[in-house]
Structure 1
Amino acid sequence: MFEVRPYPELSWSLSRHKTMLTCSRKYAYDYYISHNGWISSADPLAKQTYRLKKITNLEMHFGSVVHDLIYQTIQASLKNQPILSEQAFIDEIRRHLNRGFIESTKKEHLWQNRPKHYTMLHEIYYSQTGSLPEAKVKKITDRLHRTVSNFFSSKTFTDVRSKEYMEFVESETFRYMKTEEAKVYIVMDLVYKDLNRDKWVIVDWKTGKSSDEDRNQLALYALYLLQKHNIESLDDIIIRNEYLVDGTHVEHQLTDQDLVNVQHLYQISMEQMKLFLEDGSQNRPLPIDQFPMQDDPRVCARCNYQELCFPPY
């Protein structure tokens, strides 16, 4: 049974860690002030913060739509159901993007009341112009055909369609590992067993550029797989990044040192997170003014919480 708690459960993820490093005020809004903001009886600030938390931007919305459609396509293929053609896949992405634009410009009242179920684009919400920047629209338009074409010709989708050589495990499931201190959340795009090579394969679809953080993300995935499936050696795990914009894939063979590094990162990060707590037993945070604001205007310009940090009155 769902229980309303005054404070959220302490948890950890790489995205949470990154938010804390980027701006501790945003960290407070994301993980504390917005808590319970989806409940009708919540206080106005929690509702407002939760609503702002749900704002997305054009690049993130594009990536989310692509990931969702890839998941659906792989599921259909594994069940021997019809899958979309490349053109139908492109058309479906366009439909979702257009719907997001319409919801942002003409259905803000619906988003205000049900922010989880409607799209609000950052570019629309804070510009108040009712239009998207032409440069961003061109960027997404240029990526669209390449991304879809590269997915259909990708190493991973080729493996998926050759079902006799792979054993499907899980995909896009919100998983976590438990430590003594907190749940560590992990979202893996796809996991399967390559029967030809007798290897476990973890796939991460990328609709943007590679990042220095990718390796820690991959090490977390490997830790989870080792723990869940009692795999004896890291040598039995291959982690693959599929870069859909340029049509390349990179396979990584992690080392024990990679696992040590990410575990060390987790420990240091948790220590920092606990400094923002007034009561660790309840995960009750310090007052909001104890979470310093970011002082880089370029970071603030991309943030969802501008109206809280810089109110117009």
Structure 2
Amino acid sequence: MFEVRDYPELSWSLSRHKTMLTCLRKYAYDYYTSHNGWLKNADSLAKQAYRLKKITNLEMHFGSIVHDLIYQIIQQVLNNQEIPSEETIVDEIRHHLNRGFTESTKKEHLWQHRPKHYTMLHEIYYSQTNTLPKGKIEKITNRLHTTVKNFFASQSFADVLNKRDMQFMESEKFRFMKVDGVKIFIVMDLVYKDLLNNKWVIVDWKTGKSSDEDRNQLALYALYLQQKHNIESLDDIIIRNEYLLDATHVEYKLTEYDLINVQRLYSISMEQMQSYLEDSNKNAPKPIEYFPMQEDPRVCARCNYQELCFPSTL
């Protein structure tokens, strides 16, 4: 049962950790100021922060659409339903992109009241125009066909099609494990067991370029899987990134050091998060002044909270 709380529950995720490292003021807005901002009787600042938190950008919106459709396609395969063609998927993605643009330009009043249910693009909101940058449109258009084509040709989708030899777990749902009473949230795109080779496979679809964080992300997923299913040997777990932009996939062989490293990352990160709490028992944050703003204007230019940080310049 949902319970209204003055402060959110303290939790951890790699995205939360990354936000803290990027900008502490954004971290405060994301995880504290916006709390309860969806409630009708919330104060105006909480509502404003929650609304701004829900802004997305064209690349993120595209990635979210692709992930959702990949999940749907895989479910159709597993349920023995007809698989849509590449052309159909391209058209579906284009439809969702166009709808997001329409909602951003013509339905801002609806987004203002229900930001969770409508799309607002950063490029539209802060440019105060009803047009998207030409370069971004070209980039997403190029990614559209490439990404869909490479998904259908990927190793992981081939494994899905060979479903008789695979045992699939539920995917794309929030899971968590607890460390010292703190929930660590994990979202895995695809998890299955290769029955022929007796291996667990964790897949993460990427619609952008590779990152140094990709291995840590998969190591965290593997740690969860190992604990959840009592997997004795790390050799029984394959972690794989599918880079749909350049038609490559990378598999990592985990070591104990990988797991130790991600556990150490969590420990250091959590200690830093707790240092910004006024009351650790309630997860009540210190006043906003204790969360300094980012000094790099390039980072600020991409941020959702320009309206709060620089109200006089907008």
| TM-score for both structures, normalised by structure 2 | 0.99
2:152 equivalent to 1:166: no
SS of equivalent to 1:312? helix
Match of 1:131 in 2: 131
Superposition deviation, residue 78 in structure 1: 0.2
Match of 1:203 in 2: 203
Match of 2:151 in 1: 151
SS of equivalent to 2:97? helix
In structure 1, what is the Cα distance between the partners aligned to 2:3 and 2:254? 40
2:253 equivalent to 1:253: yes
SS of equivalent to 2:74? helix
**Matched ranges for 1:53-64 at <5 A:** 53-64=53-64
Unaligned runs of 5+ in 1: none
Match of 1:307 in 2: 307
Superposition deviation, residue 310 in structure 1: 0.3
In structure 2, what is the Cα distance between the partners aligned to 1:130 and 1:289? 35
SS of equivalent to 2:292? coil
Superposition deviation, residue 62 in structure 1: 0.3
Match of 1:216 in 2: 216
**Matched ranges for 1:168-247 at <5 A:** 168-247=168-247
Q: Structure 1: which amino acid aligns with 2:103? A: E
Q: Structure 2: which amino acid aligns with 1:98? A: N
In structure 2, what is the Cα distance between the partners aligned to 1:164 and 1:294? 51
Deviations 1:124-144 (A, max 9, x none): 000011100000000000111
Match of 2:103 in 1: 103
In structure 2, what is the Cα distance between the partners aligned to 1:196 and 1:111? 49
In structure 2, what is the Cα distance between the partners aligned to 1:159 and 1:42? 47
Superposition deviation, residue 83 in structure 1: 2.0
Superposition deviation, residue 181 in structure 1: 4.1
In structure 2, what is the Cα distance between the partners aligned to 1:57 and 1:24? 21
**Matched ranges for 1:246-285 at <5 A:** 246-285=246-285
Match of 2:121 in 1: 121
2:15 equivalent to 1:24: no
Deviations 1:220-242 (A, max 9, x none): 00000001001111100000100
Match of 2:49 in 1: 49
SS of equivalent to 1:188? coil
SS of equivalent to 2:147? helix
Deviations 1:78-114 (A, max 9, x none): 0001121100000000000000000000000000000
Deviations 1:276-296 (A, max 9, x none): 000000000000111000000
Q: Structure 1: which amino acid aligns with 2:85? A: S
In structure 2, what is the Cα distance between the partners aligned to 1:31 and 1:109? 25
In structure 2, what is the Cα distance between the partners aligned to 1:83 and 1:55? 32
In structure 1, what is the Cα distance between the partners aligned to 2:182 and 2:43? 27
Deviations 1:156-189 (A, max 9, x none): 1111011111111121010001011410000000
In structure 2, what is the Cα distance between the partners aligned to 1:156 and 1:215? 17
In structure 2, what is the Cα distance between the partners aligned to 1:6 and 1:82? 48
Q: Structure 2: which amino acid aligns with 1:125? A: Y
Q: Structure 1: which amino acid aligns with 2:46? A: A
SS of equivalent to 2:240? strand
In structure 2, what is the Cα distance between the partners aligned to 1:162 and 1:227? 27
In structure 1, what is the Cα distance between the partners aligned to 2:36 and 2:186? 22
In structure 2, what is the Cα distance between the partners aligned to 1:251 and 1:290? 41
In structure 1, what is the Cα distance between the partners aligned to 2:82 and 2:32? 43
Unaligned runs of 5+ in 2: none
In structure 2, what is the Cα distance between the partners aligned to 1:183 and 1:285? 18
